[in-house]
Amino acid sequence: MFWRLFLSYLLLVVAAVTLVGAVIHLRAEAVFWELFHEVAVAVGVAVFSAACAAGVLASRLSQPLVELNYGARRLADGDLTHRIEVGGHHEVATLAGTINDMSGRLSTMLRLLEHDREQLRAILSGMVEGVIAIDDRRRVLFANDRAGKLLGFVPDQAVKQTICEAIPEQPFRDIVETGLAAAEPHRAELEWKGPPVRNLAIYISRFPGHGMPGAVIVVHDTTELRQVEKLRQDFVANVSHELKTPLAVIKSSVETLVDGAAEDPESRDMFLAQITREAERLEELIQDLLSLARIESGNLGLEPMTLALGQAITDCVERHQGRAEVKTLTMVEKPPSDVRGEIFAWADPDALRQVMDNLVDNAIKYTPNGGRITVRWTQSVDTVSFEVEDTGVGIPPEDLQRVFERFYRADKARSRTIGGTGLGLAIVKHLVQAMKGQVRASSTVGKGTTFRVTLPRAAD
């Protein structure tokens, strides 16, 4: 392009000089002023012609450059779909084609990067752990939604803030500083005050390599794990205590008999009765533990079928009638007044029998002498229900929500006096849930308690 411009202007100058020389040669004999006038006119015409030609040539040569400049600005502004269309000189057209190819490849690379970025965000957003990436100045580069929920901040607003500004709690900041100062990945436990209160495990690891200063913080919610661990510890402690009590009685009774009480018929019978009673209690506890373990493992092997609910309740009342009479309790059955004929439940017969037996047995234990136990049942469109209501001591409101927990007793001293393993209601809850039903409890202290079980209704 340079040589074309140079030759063009050189030709224009040569033409101008030639024209001036020709005029001077033809008018040599004229007067000086006439010659000067002619020369001036010729030079003016030559300069004007050269300027016009140069303007036209420069315009034709600069137009592709303007198009290139405009296209480059569009690409710099992020419009990678823009294409530069120029014609004319081969060098300019080649440059425009090269820029178009470059923008196309850049657009493809950006689309791939954006796709990978969205995939990474989707993966991190779907994680149950919170993830926070920070740079060497402690500024947040990225945080997923789970981290925001666990630590109580808005991830989008936290980006470019320091980790201390986004999460100002001092215990968390101390863990972060300790992790950043450590050469190896750091792990720490944190009790997050909430709300809600959580147990969190914090993992801090620096980015590998020297080209990526900063670190990644992973937050794992261990609240449920801690609760399960506490339940396991409580369960082991309760089982140990429940086993220890009857064993201690049996051991002391045997030692007393060995020491000579066996020679006294009255004492011997008393201690043997104690041994028998505590052995039965041990057997009952072990059976309940095995039943609960089998229920929670999901290996019940339930076989639901159509069962006449009224008949099942009548059979249950007859099984416990003798124990009720010993305590002068009145047991009453109340069938529904608005339903004619039998009500059918869709349930496993053995599981339903165990549920009813546990609820009625519980009512008999906690109802004082002369009290009343009422069993009523009814049906709705898709479900059937039965209630076991007693006039016993009742359950305080703060204990009502926990009566279905293993070994939980509202009145521990009285519960151990009247017997029982503390597993009956836990077994009831798991069996009812296994049969796709629900169980609820309502109570008034000093007036009694009602347990209501709802099960699927069988086809008529």
List, for residues 234-265, the tens digit of each pLDDT value: 767 767 777 787 788 888 888 888 887 777 78
pLDDT exceeds cutoff 70 at 370: yes
Interhelix angle 90-125/32-76, nearest 10 degrees? 20
CA separation for the pair 72, 14 (Å, rounded) = 39
Residue type, position 351, single letter? A
pLDDT tens for each residue of 43-69 = 666 656 665 665 566 566 666 666 767
CB 307 within 8 A of CB 350: no
Q: Which domains does the chain have, with CATH numbers?
A: 2-94 (no CATH), 127-221 (3.30.450.20), 228-297 (1.10.287.130), 305-456 (3.30.565.10)
pLDDT exceeds cutoff 90 at 323: no
pLDDT exceeds cutoff 80 at 276: yes
How sure is the predictor about 123, in pLDDT bands with cuts at 50, 70 and 90? low
- Record the pTM: 0.51
Average pLDDT over residues 342-348: 90
pLDDT exceeds cutoff 50 at 415: no
CB 404 within 8 A of CB 433: no
Residue type, position 301, single letter? G
The whole-number pLDDT of residue 9 equals: 53
CA distances in angstroms from 223 to 63, 168, 198, listed in the order given: 70, 22, 6
The whole-number pLDDT of residue 385 equals: 92
- Least confident range of 73-82, 308-317, 341-350, 423-432: 73-82
Of 451, 338, 337, residue with least CA distance to 392 = 451
Q: Work out whether the CA dihedral 318, 323, 326, 332 comes out positive or negative.
A: negative
The whole-number pLDDT of residue 373 equals: 93
The whole-number pLDDT of residue 2 equals: 42
Q: What is the mean pLDDT of the chain?
A: 77
How sure is the predictor about 414, in pLDDT bands with cuts at 50, 70 and 90? very low
The whole-number pLDDT of residue 314 equals: 92
Tokens 């999460």, located at residue: 167
How would you classify residue 411: left for phi > 0, otherwise alpha for psi between -120 and 50, otherwise beta? beta
How sure is the predictor about 111, in pLDDT bands with cuts at 50, 70 and 90? confident
